[in-house]
Amino acid sequence: MLQKIFAAMPLRLIMFLYMSVLITSCVQDKNKLPEDSKEYHLKLFRFEQDLFEIKPEQMPEGLELLKDKYGSFFDLFAFQITRLGSRDSVQMNQNFITFVSDTNFRAVYNECYKRFPDFKEEQMGLEKAFSRYAELFPENSIPNIVTLLSVFSYPIVVDSANLGIGLDMYMGQDNKYYFTLEPPLPLFLRRKMSKEYIVSDAMKGWLESDYAIDESRAKMVDMMVSQGRVLCALDEILPDVHDTLKSGYSLSQLEWCKSNESKIWSFFIENKLLFSDDPNLLQKYVNDGPTTNGFPQESPGNIGKFAGWMIVKSYLNKHKDVSIKTLMEEKDLMKVFQQSKYKPSK
């Protein structure tokens, strides 16, 4: 469940990943779903607005107010996302003054505010999704939603009580700022940096923070099934959201996968990849990319995710009594694979 979040460097994209960090305190108490109601209202906090509204001369007092309001999320932002934090309070104060005074970051903040002035549309989508999530996982906590400027590092950050959304990662694939980064962002990443991905990315990040596997010990099939069951959970949580937004594939890539399902599966079988734990092979077939090594250019990156999706769908079709909650809590992913009896038709 616990994954290490890597420190972000200003104006550089390190990895477009969904990282989770377990932090003990929170902005406020976790949200609770009323027992007699399926309607839900999430608590929304605009961290980036609270931060950039602090004037440089008000910074010492302003930082204390941020710490009091955001608790551990402030530490996550200061020490791990941006590295602005310091044990030396004077130095940290100066770091934050430099950050909010920087013309580039302030311009990015203004762009975020322009595109997300109230976040109402996204909040409504998240509230609808978390209402369904609470029905599927009644014992799980519901997070506060915290928007932030992640210095082009993380679309989604998760701690024990908060789901952070880096608005600067969702400004539209052709946003001018994405072309100023070094190294330049490839199209396969920029294509998913639009606001319509926010809800599905957020729910994916929250699910992965609760049900992550130990990737250092995982085999190819474990990774495939792990990613596949998250997508099946998203099918239940976001029934009206298109598969392209849940999977991250383009429409043409998704259609290619469906048309070539048996060929994809044959490739993994014939090349004896399913039980490999070689990091280089895992990188090729279950990590993101413009396309997948060994497949036509029309294929998506992380083609193993599609195979895993189909495996888990087959498993659920054969085990109607298994709930999504039980599926996500299953530790033996090899069992899911074996009992799926997955064999796509040619």
Give the domain ranges of the chain.
Answer: 18-209, 216-340
The tens digit of pLDDT for each residue in 3-28 reads 323 233 333 333 333 333 433 334 54
**Any bridge partners for residue 163, and if so which?**
145, 158
pTM of the model: 0.89
Q: How far apart are CA 20 and CA 2, in angstroms?
A: 7
H/E segment holding residue 346: none
Mention every residue, 6+ apart, whose C-beta is less than 8 A from residue 318. 339, 340, 341
Look over the chain and give the mean of its residue pLDDT values, rounded to a whole number. 89
The tens digit of pLDDT for each residue in 40-62 reads 789 999 999 999 999 999 999 99
Q: In this model, does residue 36 exceed pLDDT 90?
A: no
Question: In the prediction, which pLDDT does 31 show?
Answer: 56
- The tokens for 250 are 């383009």
Q: In this model, does residue 34 exceed pLDDT 90?
A: no
Mean pLDDT for 109-132 is: 96
**How does residue 30 score in pLDDT terms, banded at 50, 70 and 90?**
low
- The CA-atom distances, in angstroms, between 67 and each of 59, 74, 78, 148, 305 are 12, 6, 10, 15, 39
Contact present, 213 and 147 (Cβ < 8 Å):
no
Q: How far apart are CA 10 and CA 13, in angstroms?
A: 8
Question: In the prediction, which pLDDT does 4 show?
Answer: 25
- The CA-atom distances, in angstroms, between 257 and each of 112, 261, 264, 295 are 35, 6, 8, 11
Mean pLDDT for 310-316 is: 98
Question: In the prediction, which pLDDT does 13 show?
Answer: 36
Mean pLDDT for 72-89 is: 95
Instruction: Report which of residues 24 and 171 the model is more confident about.
Output: 171
